[in-house]
C-alpha cells in the first residue's frame, strides 16, 4: 500500500491486527485474556464481571496464535465501574486460569476510526466476532447438546481459517441438518408468492435452478457467491458468529456479505436466536441478486466507513429496519423485503397483518427508533421503492461528520478516499468516460 494513502488513518501496518480501531473513550479499560477451549469457560468469566457489577461494552474473540488449545478475548470495560480492577485480574488468573493483559490505548482526540481500504483487509476483522460459534448461551436450544456444539465448532473453524480469495469450503450436511432446512424451506416457500416482494420472487427460481435451492438440499456458499457475483458483484464470506456493527457494515461497502454456515438446532426448526444459514440464504441472498437492492446495501456500508460511533449505531438501526425488517410498496399492497421477515414463518405473516404499526421510511426518525431483538417488531417502516430508499440514505449520509467522501472502485476492489484535488479529478475523468458511453448509446437507439 502506498504510504501517501495511509496518512489519514496512520500506517495500517503499525496498528494492531486485533484491537478494534475505534476512537478512544474516557474511562474505558481494555483487557485481553486467554482461556483454554472448554465448555462454559467464557461463561465463568462473564459471571465474574456480572457479580462485581462491571459493564462490558465490547467483546471480541479469536483462536490463540500461540496455543492451539486456547482462545483469546478482547474486552472493553467501563472504567467508572472498575474500582478494584487488580482484584478482578487476580481472580481471572488464579480462579479461572486465564492469561490476562491490560492494554494502554492512547489515541488522538477526534481520530477517524480505522476502516478497510482494500477488500483483502476484510481479513483483519473477519474473526473479531462478538459471539463464538460454539460458545452458546444457556437458553440456546442447542446448549445442552454436545454433538451440536461440536458441529458448531467445525463451522467456526472453517470461518476462522478462511481468507479472501480462497474458495469457500464445501460442507457435507448431515441428514438431520437437511431435514431442519427442509422444514424451514417448505414452510417459507409457501408464503413467498403472497408475502414477499417482487424482487425476491423473481430471483428465487433462479437460485433453485443454478444454486441447488431445494427442500432436500442445503446450498453451498461457494456456489451462491459465484452466482451473486455474476448478478451484482456481491459475494459471500463465511463467518463464525456476529460481527460488530462497524465491521459488518464495512463488508457491505465492498459488496461482501458475511454469512454463517451453521444451521439452527433441530429441536426448534422454526426458531433461532441468532442468524443461521436459513436466515442468510432464504432471507438475504435473493435480494443481493437484485441490482437496486445491492446498491442500497452497499450505500449503507460506504456511509459507515470512518463514521463516528454514534452514527454507526444509527446506520445499524437503519439496516435493521430496512435490510432486516423492511416493507415496501407494490401497487396498493405491502410486501416484505427484509431478511428477518423472509426467513421467519411467523413474523412474515404477522408483519402484513393489522397488528403492527406501519410508518413511512423517514431515516431521521428510523435511525433512532428502539427495537426488540427477541420478539416480533411492534413497528415496521415502508419504503416507496429501493430507489427512493437509496436517495434518502444518500441525504442521510451527508449528515455524517467525516472530513472526506468515499467511493468504491470495483476494478481495484479498493475504497477511494475523496479528500484531495487529484482524487476528484480521477473521479471526474471516470464520470466523463461513462457519460461518453451513455451519449453514444443514446444516439444509436434514436
Question: Looking at the annotation, which residues are catalytic?
Answer: 279, 284, 324, 343
Cα distance between residue 307 and residue 310, in whole Å? 8
**Residue-level length of the chain:** 446
Where on the phi/psi map is residue 72: left (φ > 0), alpha (ψ -120 to 50), or beta? beta
Q: What is the DSSP letter of 361?
A: -
* Range 369-373 contact pairs with CB under 8 angstroms and sequence separation of 24 or more: 369/317, 369/321, 371/317, 371/320, 371/321, 371/325
- Copy the grid coordinates of residue 342: 423472509
State the first-to-last Cα distance of the chain, in angstroms, to the nearest integer: 46
Residue 429 CB neighbours (<10 A) = 10
Helix (H), strand (E), coil (C) string for 105-152: CCCCCCCCCCCCCEHHHHHHCCCCECCCCCCCCCCCCCCCCHHHHHHH
> In this structure, are residues 126 and 165 in contact, taking their beta carbons and an 8 Å threshold?
no
Confirm if 213 and 207 have CB atoms less than 8 A apart: yes
Instruction: Decide the pairing of beta strands 70-78 and 56-63.
Output: antiparallel
Extract the C-alpha cell encoding 24: 478512544
Amino acid at each position: 500500500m502506498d504510504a501517501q494513502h495511509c496518512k489519514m488513518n496512520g500506517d495500517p501496518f503499525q496498528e494492531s491486527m486485533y484491537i478494534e480501531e475505534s476512537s478512544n473513550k474516557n474511562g474505558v479499560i481494555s483487557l485481553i485474556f486467554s482461556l483454554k477451549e472448554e465448555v462454559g469457560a467464557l461463561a465463568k468469566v462473564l459471571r465474574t464481571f456480572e457479580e462485581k457489577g462491571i459493564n462490558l461494552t465490547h467483546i471480541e474473540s479469536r483462536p490463540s496464535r500461540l496455543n492451539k488449545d486456547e482462545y483469546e478475548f478482547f474486552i472493553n470495560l467501563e472504567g467508572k465501574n472498575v474500582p478494584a480492577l487488580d482484584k478482578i485480574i487476580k481472580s481471572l488468573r488464579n480462579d479461572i486460569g486465564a492469561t490476562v493483559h491490560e492494554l494502554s490505548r492512547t489515541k488522538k482526540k477526534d481520530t477517524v476510526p480505522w476502516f478497510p481500504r482494500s477488500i483483502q483487509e476484510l481479513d483483519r476483522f473477519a474473526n473479531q466476532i462478538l459471539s463464538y460459534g460454539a460458545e452458546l448461551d444457556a437458553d440456546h436450544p442447542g446448549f445442552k447438546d454436545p454433538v451440536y456444539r461440536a458441529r458448531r465448532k467445525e463451522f467456526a473453524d472453517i470461518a476462522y481459517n478462511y481468507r479472501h480469495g480462497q474458495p469457500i469450503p464445501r460442507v457435507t450436511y448431515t441428514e438431520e441438518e437437511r431435514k431442519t432446512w427442509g422444514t424451514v424451506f417448505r414452510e417459507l416457500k409457501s408464503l413467498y408468492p403472497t408475502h414477499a416482494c417482487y424482487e425476491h420472487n423473481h430471483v428465487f427460481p433462479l437460485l433453485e435452478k443454478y444454486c441447488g435451492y431445494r427442500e432436500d438440499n442445503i446450498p453451498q456458499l461457494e456456489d451462491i457467491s459465484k452466482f451473486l457475483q455474476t448478478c451484482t458483484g456481491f459475494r459471500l464470506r463465511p463467518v463464525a458468529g456476529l460481527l460488530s456493527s462497524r465491521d459488518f457494515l464495512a463488508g457491505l461497502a465492498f459488496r461482501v456479505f458475511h454469512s454463517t454456515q451453521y444451521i439452527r438446532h433441530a429441536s426448534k426448526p422454526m426458531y433461532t436466536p441468532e442468524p443461521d444459514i436459513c436466515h442468510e440464504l432464504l432471507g438475504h441472498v435473493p435480494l443481493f441478486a437484485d441490482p437496486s437492492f445491492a446498491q442500497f446495501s452497499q450505500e449503507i456500508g460506504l456511509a459507515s466507513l470512518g463514521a463516528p460511533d454514534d452514527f454507526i449505531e444509527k446506520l445499524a438501526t437503519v439496516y435493521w429496519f430496512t435490510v432486516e425488517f423492511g416493507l415496501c410498496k407494490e401497487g396498493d399492497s405491502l410486501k416484505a423485503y427484509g431478511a428477518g421477515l423472509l426467513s421467519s414463518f411467523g413474523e412474515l405473516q404477522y408483519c402484513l397483518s393489522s397488528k403492527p404499526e406501519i410508518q413511512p421510511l423517514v431515516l431521521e426518525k428510523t435511525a433512532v427508533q428502539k427495537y426488540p431483538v427477541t420478539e416480533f417488531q411492534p413497528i415496521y417502516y415502508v419504503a416507496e421503492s429501493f430507489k427512493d430508499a437509496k436517495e434518502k440514505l444518500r441525504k442521510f449520509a451527508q449528515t455524517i461528520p467525516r472530513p472526506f467522501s468515499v467511493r468504491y472502485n470495483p476494478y481495484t476492489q479498493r475504497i477511494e478516499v475523496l479528500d484531495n484535488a487529484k482524487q476528484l479529478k480521477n473521479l471526474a475523468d471516470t464520470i466523463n468516460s461513462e457519460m461518453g458511453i451513455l451519449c453514444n448509446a443514446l444516439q444509436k437507439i434514436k
